[in-house]
Amino acid sequence: MTAQTFDHLSTEEALGEPPWQRALRRLVKRRAAMTGLAIVVFFILIAVTAPFISPYDPIATSWAAVRKPPSAAHLFGTDDIGRDVLARIIWGSRASLLAGLVSVMLALAVGVPIGLFSGYAGGALDGTIMRLIDAMLAIPFLILAIALAAFLGPSLTNAMIAIGVTQMPVFARLTRAQVLSVKHEDYIEAARAVGNPQYRIVLRHIFPNIVPPLLVQATLATAMAIIAEASLSFLGLGQQPPSPSWGSMLNTAKNFMAQAPWMAIWPGLAIFSLVLSLNLFGDGLRDALDPRRE
Amino acid sequence: MTTFLLRRIALIVPTLFFVSLLIFGLQQLLPGDPATALAGEDRDPAVIAFIRQKYHLDEPLPVRYALWVKGVVQGDLGESIRIRRPVLDLIAEKLPVTGELALIAVLISLCIGIPAGIIAAVKNGTAIDYGTTMAALWGLSIPNFWLGILLILLFSVELELLPASGFVSPGESLRQNLLTLIMPAFVLGNFFAAGMMRHTRSAMLQVLGMDYVRTARAKGLPEIRVILRHAFRNALIPVVTLAALDFGALLSGAVLTEQVFTIPGFGKLIVDAVFNRDYAVVQGVVLFTAFAYIMLNFFADLAYVVLNPRLRT
């Protein structure tokens, strides 16, 4: 009888709009976030299609074209040893995006399990892990990255490791805080009561509920990682010459500011627009995933 | 208050212990024999032997760590391989330069960030709020070394108004000192100002909805008085704590700013040390900044309790 009464209600309707769909609908409505996403996608396309769209070889020098201002032949001009700036910007997008992606993945892969474990286990173990995380957070981001890059040796790979290691504690702490906030919810107690093993409770019941804030943090962390890679390359501790990277292009440009200002304008503009777009998208994502906002 | 103080100090001790472990551990990342690596490029056998003996490299790891910590506690942060001077002396020499730069930067960012945050919160949802929030996002997204380069292009290369690089100590000429520091301080303060604006805005938004603010308005107080005396004073409390957390970003920014404007400060010290493979200096600087950060946050938490009467029990 009861079954018949509720027959006409589908599960979908009873539950309302699924949260992910609602978040997506709200995200699409945010113009700033969508502009950000479009620009990020644009940069990804540039990085992927670099071999086909680059007008010149990014490391080919030409003594006949040293520090030439922007022209039809070289849209963004040439650098101090005659390399095409546009070609280097196009190829340099690979270093930036790769650094952003790899270092954040590394930070997630290490930080999230630590946070899950620490938050779920609690007690003295949690206390000890959190003091270690505090210690890592006490060393300023770039200074720790510089020190790591210095001791590991300067290269793009080591810069990515250094950036990932410095971002890891942020994810560990965020994950732990989220675990603590859902750990005593009724549905977790229920999962425990029906005899689920610990690992299943953590992976199947806790983890999916803490994904949204991690996603937002990961987007904003990618923006930070891209600035960090550019900073390390600017200091000479990231991508090594002659491979192109926006940060190292600015490092060289610094010495020719009076003679070739275009060398400094374009790489900086590229970093700025990519980072701003990621921040715009991240902010929009946070608002869209926040159930309290409408 | 005493319980809070004791509990807070109890948190600092293990954090400092782990910081020391991390920084000591950095040395272990060096490939090959640390003595050879620490000796720098010359690989002078005498220097290698000296390092081996100085850092007790023949002893087991825990003993080496204990000896290193003992030295650090006594103020011995090691010695620069390159200039053969104690690291602590080098830090003490460079600190005032970065200190002055950071101080001016913080002053600039407070003058921009706090009023902007208050206005954005008061005008919440309007074009002014949107514009200020957007400006802050720009400030957070612009790499400060690029901003520095752009300002040099404009004010030094084009307009020839300000020196592009260098540093004059205030003792020599205060005017020259300020002229050399104004651009770097603005560049460094930019990021901090953006953070400050965001913190102030969100703290103000929270406070403006409180009952006591409504009461103050209901009493018929002028709006400006409600905002500044009743709302802002309470909003200031979280802003202080968040500002202390941004201190690390300020130091990171200083490294890049000093590099762009060739200012002989703390940041230049660590970058030069990296290229000279002067590892003791790198370690010393990292240790010092971590210690400064932990202490600053301790005092910020203390200020939080002192400023907030509700926590003063």
pLDDT for residue B312: 58
At residue B119 the predicted structure's pLDDT band, cuts being 50, 70 and 90, is very high
How many Å lie between the alpha carbon of B225 and the closest alpha carbon of chain A? 30
* pLDDT given at position A219: 93
Q: Which residue of A has its CA nearest to B26?
A: A151
Over residues A272-280, mean pLDDT: 95
Q: For A28-48, what is the mean pLDDT?
A: 94
Which residues of A are less than 8 Å from B253 in CB distance?
142
Interface mutation vs chain B, best among A146, A166, A240, most B CBs within 10 Å = A146
Nearest beta carbon to residue A138 from set B27, B29, B293: B293
Q: How far is B16 from chain A (nearest CA, A)?
A: 7
pTM of the model: 0.88
For residue A13, give how far its alpha carbon lies from the nearest alpha carbon of chain B (Å). Answer: 34
* Residue A2 in this model has a pLDDT that exceeds 60: no
- The yes-or-no verdict on residue A6 having pLDDT over 70 is no
pLDDT at B234: 81
What confidence category does residue B152 fall into, taking pLDDT thresholds of 50, 70 and 90?
very high
- The answer, yes or no, to whether residue B74 has pLDDT greater than 50, is yes
Is pLDDT of A80 > 70?
yes
Query: B274 and chain A: CB distance < 8 Å anywhere?
Result: yes
Which stretches of chain A are DSSP H helices?
2-5, 11-15, 19-28, 31-48, 50-53, 85-121, 123-138, 141-152, 156-182, 186-193, 198-200, 207-234, 246-253, 262-289
Domain boundaries along the sequence of chain A: 39-289
- B311 falls in which pLDDT band (50, 70, 90)? low
Question: A39-289 maps to which CATH number?
Answer: 1.10.3720.10
Closest partner residue to A268 among B18, B149, B251, by Cβ?
Answer: B149
Contacts of B142 in chain A (CB under 8 A): 272, 275-276
> Given this model, what pLDDT does residue A39 score?
96
Q: Complex ipTM, two decimals?
A: 0.86
* Residue B91 to residue B281: CA distance in whole angstroms: 9
Is A140 close to B285, i.e. CB distance below 8 A?
A: no
Q: Which of A7-16, A267-276, B85-94, B217-226 has the highest mean pLDDT?
A: A267-276
For residue B187, which of B261, B118, B135 has the smallest C-alpha distance?
B261
Burial class (CB in 10 A: 0-12, 13-18, 19+), A105: middle
Task: Tell me which residues of chain B, numbers 29 to 48, contact chain A at a CB-CB cutoff of 8 Å.
Answer: 29-31
For residue A215, count other CB atoms closer than 10 A to its CB.
14
Residue A198: name the closest of A110, A119, A112 by CA: A119
Q: Please report, for residues A147, A225, B60, B129, B308, the alpha-carbon distance to residue B189 in angstroms, rounded to integers and kept in the order given.
A: 24, 20, 46, 21, 27
Chain A within 8 Å of B22 (Cβ-Cβ)? yes
The pLDDT of residue A34: 94
CA dist B267 and B274 (Å) reads 11
- Nearest chain A CA: its distance from B293 CA (Å): 6
pLDDT digits (tens, 9 = 90+) for A39-75: 999 999 999 999 999 888 888 888 888 888 898 888 8
Q: Residue B86 pairs with which residues in a beta bridge?
A: B79
Instruction: Say if the Cβ atoms of B286 and A147 lie within 8 Å.
Output: yes
Backbone φ/ψ region at B17: left (φ over 0), alpha (ψ -120 to 50), beta: alpha
Q: Determine the pLDDT at residue A117.
A: 92
Contact A122, A176 (CB under 8 A): no
Please provide residue B86's backbone torsions phi and psi, each rounded to the nearest 5 degrees: -60, 140
Tokens 């400050």 map to which residue? B196
Tell me whether residues B252 and A142 touch, CB distance under 8 A.
yes
The stretch A86-102 carries a mean pLDDT of 94
CB contacts < 8 Å between A and B, how many? 148
Alpha-carbon distance of B153 to A257, in angstroms, equals 7
DSSP per residue, chain B: -HHHHHHHHHHHHHHHHHHHHHHHHHHHTSSS-HHHHHT-SS--HHHHHHHHHHTTTTS-HHHHHHHHHHHHHTT---B-TTT-SBHHHHHHHHHHHHHHHHHHHHHHHHHHHHHHHHHHHHTTTSHHHHHHHHHHHHHHHS-HHHHHHHHIIIIIIIS--S-SS----TTT-HHHHHHHHHHHHHHHHHHHHHHHHHHHHHHHHHHHTSHHHHHHHHTT--HHHIIIIIIIHHHHHHHHHHHHHTHHHHHHHHHHHHHHTT--SHHHHHHHHHHTT-HHHHHHHHHHHHHHHHHHHHHHHHHHHHH-GGG--
Q: Which residue of B has its CA nearest to A272?
A: B142
CA distance B195 to A83: 38
Q: Nearest to residue B22, comparing CAs of A76, A265, A135?
A: A135
pLDDT in tens, B80-102: 877 888 999 999 999 899 989 99
**Contact check, Cβ <8 Å, B146/A272:** yes
CA distance B91 to A256: 31
Express each pLDDT in B28-61 by its tens digit: 777 767 677 767 666 778 878 877 777 777 788 8
| Whether B282 and A147 lie within 8 Å, measured CB to CB | yes
Angle made by CA atoms A85, A39, A69, in degrees to the nearest 5: 20
* Cβ–Cβ gap B21/A136 under 8 Å: no
**In this predicted model, what pLDDT tens digit does every residue of B188-243 receive, in sequence order?**
999 889 988 998 998 888 888 888 888 888 888 888 888 888 888 888 877 877 77
Which residues of A are less than 8 Å from B11 in CB distance?
Answer: 131, 134
CB-CB neighbors (< 8 A) of B157 in chain A: 257-258, 261
Contact list in A for residue B282 (CB cut-off 8 A) is 146-147, 150-151
B289 touches chain A (CB under 8 A): yes
Buried b (16+ CB within 10 A) or exposed e, A142-155: bbbbbbbbbbbebe
Give the residue from B272, B82, B249, B76 showing the smallest Cα distance to A150: B272
Q: Of A78, A75, A79, whose CA–CA distance to A53 is shortest?
A: A75
CB contact under 8 A, A143 and B16: no
Cβ–Cβ of B143/A231 closer than 8 Å? yes
Our CA-based measurement puts residue A219 at a distance from the nearest CA of chain B, in whole angstroms, of 13
Long-range CB contacts (within 8 A, 24+) of B40-43: B40/B81, B40/B82, B40/B276, B40/B277, B40/B278, B41/B277
Task: Give the bridge partners for B79, in sequence order.
Answer: B86
What is the distance, to the nearest Å, from the Cα of residue A203 to the centroid of all Cα atoms in its chain?
23
pLDDT the model gives residue A3:
47
Residue A139 pLDDT: 86
Tens of pLDDT along B248-299?
888 888 999 999 999 999 888 998 888 887 888 888 889 988 988 888 888 8
DSSP SS3 for A49:
coil
pLDDT of B169: 84
DSSP calls for A123-162: HHHHHHHHHHHHHHHHS-HHHHHHHHHHHH-SSHHHHHHH
Q: Do A143 and B137 touch (CB under 8 A)?
A: no
What pLDDT sits at residue A1? Answer: 43
CA distances from B67 to A26, A57, B30, B71 (A): 58, 54, 19, 6
Residue type, A75: L
Task: Determine the 3-state secondary structure of A84 from DSSP.
Answer: strand
pLDDT band at A27 (very low <50, low <70, confident <90, very high): confident
Interchain pair B275, A236: CB under 8 A: yes
Instruction: Examine the pLDDT at A251 and tell me if it is beyond 50.
Output: yes
CB A141 within 8 A of CB A166: yes
- Which two three-digit tokens encode residue A56? 């010149």
B256 touches chain A (CB under 8 A): yes
Q: How far is A159 from B37, CA to CA, in rounded Å?
A: 20
- Please judge whether B289 and A139 are an interchain contact, meaning their C-beta atoms are less than 8 angstroms apart: yes
Per the CB < 8 Å rule, is B256 touching A231? yes
Lowest-pLDDT range of A115-119, A271-275, B201-205, B206-210: B206-210
| 8 Å CB contact of B248 and A141 | yes
Check CB contact of B77 with chain A, cutoff 8 Å.
no
Q: Give residue limits of the domains in chain B.
A: 2-73, 88-308
Better pLDDT: B230 or A107: A107
Integer Cα distance of B68 and A206 in angstroms: 43
Neighbours of A218 (CB within 10 A): 22
Distance from CA of A268 to the nearest CA of B (A): 6
Among A14-18, A102-106, A195-199, name the one with the lowest average pLDDT. Answer: A14-18
Nearest-neighbour CA in chain A from B11: distance (Å): 8
Q: Report the chain A residue with the minimal C-alpha distance to residue B140.
A: A276
Phi, psi angles (nearest 5°) of residue A84: -75, 125
Q: Between B174 and A48, whose confidence is greater?
A: A48
Architecture of domain B88-308: Orthogonal Bundle (1.10)
